[in-house]
Amino acid sequence: MKGVILAGGRGERLKPLTDWLPKPMVPLLNKPLLEYNLELFKKQGITDVTLTVCYKKESIKQHIGDGSRFGVNVTYIEEKAPLGTAGSLFRHADRFQETFVVLSGDALTNISLEAAIQFHHSKQALLTLVAVEVERPEDFGICLINEEGRLVSFLEKPEKEQIFSSIVNTGIYIIEPEIFERYHFNGEVDFAKDLFPVILKDCERIFVYRSEAYWQDIGNPYQHWLAEKRLKHGISGIASARKPPIAQISNYSTQFLKRFHLHDALSTSWTERNNRQWTIKTTEQ
């Protein structure tokens, strides 16, 4: 089975961390986020991996190479301009001849892909969306599902008065290649904004696999800090590069965060503005 990691985004919400690194290369305890995602695939038996790359792609290609040192075989789909979360897949549909798994490159998780794939096949789904329950669903795409687990309605980043569910999209999908025969898109395409409304309207077999595993979106610097905090305490099934003392971030990450005054020696407060963009205010202790 082939795996796909979406690694081409600019990471606008993660600035200033992504001013000099692509989002998948942002370190978490001395190891780039992308390595954690490759390990997730490898651990669950998916060793044929395609990376979609665009922003600062050479940094990713130089670090990952052909994937052999990580125990996987990596090939690339290179975008000259951003094509959204699904545009590259539709443009290169000929690469996908069997069931494949898509993983967003901006989250840390130990979700069981094997269990999600089994669920997908048991439902004979065209597409299965992996979801978790969160406290702040307005930051994500929310899912309304029926008793069978079928997706009934989906709304991306709703306003607070629009929220009808706390079950949110993780950006992990199991997809059958027949989707490319039934639907044709060109240019920039987004799963949530472009594909889901169409396939829901057509009453396709779209299901939601609900997981209770750990999943942390790394969409802004505060969420990056939360992920590192959890990693320092240990997360089942996820191995960090090192296990530093609880009160100490590993050297590479420390230097990285010091560059932006986000290390533990500073107290950081966050204010939300401009449609969920984050600004940083730091005050020395």
With respect to residue 266, please indicate whether it lies within any of the assigned structural domains.
Answer: no
Q: State mean pLDDT over 265-281.
A: 32
CB-count exposure of residue 246 (10 Å: 0-12, 13-18, 19+): exposed
Taking residue 156's Cβ as centre, other Cβ atoms within 10 Å add up to: 14
pLDDT higher than 60, residue 141: yes
Cα(254)–Cα(261) distance, rounded to whole angstroms? 10
Does some domain include residue 55? yes
Residue 97 belongs to domain spanning: 2-217
**Residue 138, token pair as written in the block:** 């307005």
Report if residue 103 sits inside a domain: yes
As a whole number, mean pLDDT of residues 245-263 equals: 43
- Asked if residue 208 has pLDDT above 80, the reply is yes
Domain membership of residue 30 (yes or no) is yes
Contacts (Cβ under 8 Å, ≥6 apart) of 207: 119, 120, 123, 125, 127, 128, 129, 148, 149, 150, 151
Q: Which residues partner with 77 through β-bridges?
A: 52
Distance CA 270, CA 283 (A): 12
Asked if pLDDT for residue 120 goes beyond 70, the answer is: yes
Whether residue 81 has pLDDT greater than 60: yes
Q: pTM for the whole thing? A: 0.85
Give the tens place of pLDDT for each residue, 210-238. 999 999 999 888 999 999 999 999 999 99
Question: For position 242, what pLDDT does the model report?
Answer: 54
pLDDT attached to residue 13: 81
| Banded pLDDT at 241 (limits 50, 70, 90) | low
pLDDT of residue 15: 82
Residue 56 has pLDDT above 90, yes or no: yes
For residue 194, the cross-strand partners are none
For 125-153, what is the mean pLDDT? 96
Concatenate the DSSP letters of all residues of 200-220 into one string.
HHTT--EEEEE--S-EEE--S
CATH for 92: 3.90.550.10
Residue 29: how many CB atoms within 10 A of its CB?
A: 21
Residue 84 resides in a domain: yes
Tens digits of residue pLDDT in 122-134: 999 999 999 999 9
Rounded CA separation 264/246 (Å)? 11
Q: Round the average pLDDT of the chain to a whole number and report it.
A: 86
Closest of 105, 90, 91 to residue 175, by C-alpha: 90
* pLDDT over threshold 60, residue 282: no
Using CA atoms of 13, 101, 43, 78 in order, give the dihedral in degrees to the nearest 10. Answer: -60
Cα separation of 54 and 250, whole Å? 28
The two beta strands, 215-217 and 127-133, are unpaired
Residue 260: inside a domain, yes or no? no
In a domain, 190, yes or no: yes
Joined together, the tokens standing for residue 167 give 């079950």
Contact 207, 119 (CB under 8 A): yes
The pLDDT value recorded for residue 219 is 87
Instruction: Judge if the upstream peptide bond of residue 32 is cis by omega within 30 degrees of 0.
Output: no
The count of domains in the chain is: 1
Residue pair 278/16 in contact (Cβ under 8 Å)? The answer is no
Neighbours of 97 (CB within 10 A): 10
In a domain, 83, yes or no: yes
What is the band of 20 on the pLDDT scale with cuts at 50, 70, 90?
confident
